[in-house]
Amino acid sequence: MLMVCHHLDPSIPEDVAFADSRIRPETIAAEDILHDLGVFSIISSDSQAMGRVGEVIIRTWQTADKMKKQRGKLELTSGSPSDNDRIKRYVAKYTINPAIAHGIGHLVGSVEVGKLADLIIWNPAYFGVKPEMVIKGGMISFAQMGDPNASIPTPQPVFGRPMFGAYGGAIAKGSITFVSQAAADAGIKEALGLNKRVEPVKGCRSSIPKPMSALRLLPIGQTEAQMLIQKLLNDIDSEWSQIRDNNPEDMHSFGIAQEIYAMRHESLPARLFMS
C-alpha cells in the first residue's frame, strides 16, 4: 500500500529504503502503549498515512482489548472489578476528545444535557463492529433491519439501513453546521438559507489535553517526549519481542511484520525517534 501510495518502485533500493523508514513496527508497538497510558488523546483514521476511516471504532476497541491482555486492568479512580476506566479512556479517543480539539465539544461529543448526542445501541456480541441502532436527536436514524420485502423486520438478510431520522427534514433537525464565530455573527444561516442548525466553534486554538476526558497528559516538548519514550522502552521492546522472536511460519498474519523486522537497520531507540 505504501509503495503504491507514494508511487515507489520496488526495484529501486532507495524506494525500498524509503518504505522501510515509513513503516516502523517499533513505533506501531509503542503507539498501543502510549494510547493505553493516555499519552495520545485521539484515535484517527490516518495513522501511517494509510487511513481507513471505517475501521476507527473497531481498531480502537481491538487496541483496548489487546492492552488489557498485555498490561492488565487499568485502574485510575474506581475500585470496581470492571475495567470501566479503560473503557472511558478509549471511548473518549473518538468522541469528546476530538470534539474538544475541534472546538465543538460544548455541543457534541458526549451524552450531556444541552448537547446533540448519537445514542448507539449495541448487541454485546458485535460491540464496536455492528451497531443495532443509532438515535440522533431523539429520532432513529439507523438500525438493523431484515428483508424490506417481508411483513416483519426479522427475515434475513439483516443489514444496517437508514431510518426515518435519515430522511427529509429530520436530517436538518439532527445535524449542526459548524462555522467560525465571524460567520455566525454575519448571519450566514440566513444569508445562505441553511436549514441546519448553525453554531460557531469555540476554544479550538486554546484547547489543551488537560480538560479532555480520562487523560493525564499535558503539552510536552521534544526533549520531554524522548525522555518519556525512553522510560517506556522496556514495555515497548517487550511487545515488539513478541513479534520479533516468533517463527514467521507460525505467525500467519504477523509474517509481514517479521519480514519488516528482518529489513531494519537502526536500533530501537533510533527508529522510535525517527521522523
Question: Does the annotation count 6 as an active-site position?
Answer: yes
Q: Say how far apart CA 164 and CA 145 lie, in whole Å.
A: 13
Query: How far, in whole angstroms, is CA 48 from its chain's centroid?
Result: 13
Which residue shows C-alpha cell 411483513? Answer: 151
Amino acid in the structure at residue 115: K
Q: Give every CB contact of residue 34 below 8 A, 6+ residues apart in sequence.
A: 40, 232
Task: Kindly name the residue from 6, 7, 252, 265 that is annotated as catalytic.
Answer: 6
Residue with cell 459548524: 178
Written as nine digits, the cell of 253 is: 498474519
Task: Identify the three-state secondary structure at position 179.
Answer: strand
Paired strand residues for 197: 176
Q: Is there a contact between 15 and 9 (Cβ–Cβ < 8 Å)?
A: yes
**Secondary structure (3-state) at 115:** coil
**Would you say 250 and 138 are in contact if contact means Cβ atoms under 8 Å apart?**
no
* Helix orientation angle between 233-244 and 25-37, rounded to the nearest 10 degrees: 130
Question: Among all residues, which ones are annotated catalytic?
Answer: 6
